[in-house]
Amino acid sequence: MQPFTAITTGLRRYGAIYLALLKNSIVREMGFKSNFLLWIVVEALWFALQLGYFVVIYSHTESIAGWSKWEVVLLIGTAQFIQQLFTAIFLTNVTDLSELIRTGKLDFMLLLPVNTRFLISFRKVDLGGFVNAGMALCVVGYACNQLGITPTFQHITGYFVLCIAGVFIHYALVLVLAVSAFWTVRSQGVVWCYYNLFNIARMPQTAFRGTFKIIFTLAVPMLLIANVPAKLILTRLDSILEMGLLLVITMIWLILSEFCWRVSLRRYTSASS
């Protein structure tokens, strides 16, 4: 019972810490309401442009790689939902790592009686990301309605589990890039380059062939992140193994990111050294 008690106590402690960080983020965001609203509008317009791009394409064809217009809309909505959750929870925090290293603020975090990776990963919350994630879910729901799909409870549960797995893949991949700051000091450019890969996640997996498909399915699994949960809702999964592959790759990347984090942290000699 003692290990279980220790785990429960740890979860409560870190849950309380996260709530405190969340409250601080809300206060900070509400101090700049115009900026908060502006970013929501900017992201919403960008999302609308993505949808508009495919609407134009589908005005000239009925199907792309076996996907109809509303199936692709559902896929884009799923990719946007995952991306915005990642943005809300992790993106700002991970991209700030190089600045913490450069300014020496990481020294202070290392002294706190809290897991440093937890603090760095969750210290800020982008509330606008949650709003935009909600918009993306509305698009997914509308696409389901247009397709005449009524997902079961099992499908909805599986969908959200797979979407969360996608969020953690994004997080692990970006963290692996961000820890290069322990060598280069500045790594924002490298991290933000990853943002361009989000567009791959919006494409039907069946549209790709050869080496490109292998790399972006197994090595950098952009073609799995949104395609698998979308295909679950559409009942288009070739096999349940696709779901298992996404979950296994998620675990592999989380373990790899932890290894890279620990190796990189050993290199850190503080800003005063």
253: pLDDT confidence band, cut at 50, 70 and 90?
very high
Tell me the average pLDDT of the chain: 88
| pLDDT at res. 273 | 52
Evaluate if residue 116 carries a pLDDT over 70.
yes
Q: What is the DSSP string of the chain?
A: -HHHHHHHHHHHHHHHHHHHHHHHHHHHHHTTHHHHHHHHHHHHHHHHHHHHHHHHHHTS-S-BTTB-HHHHHHHHHHHHHHHHHHIIIIIHHHHTHHHHHHHTHHHHHHHSSS-HHHHHHHS---HHHHHHHHHHHHHHHHHHHHHT----HHHHHHHHHHHHHHHHHHHHHHHHHHTTHHHHS--HHHHHHHGGGHHHHTS-GGG--HHHHHIIIIIS-HHHHTHHHHHHHTT--S-THHHHHHHHHHHHHHHHHHHHHHHHHHH---TT-
Q: What percentage of the chain reaches a pLDDT higher than 70?
A: 93
For 192-196, what is the mean pLDDT? Answer: 72
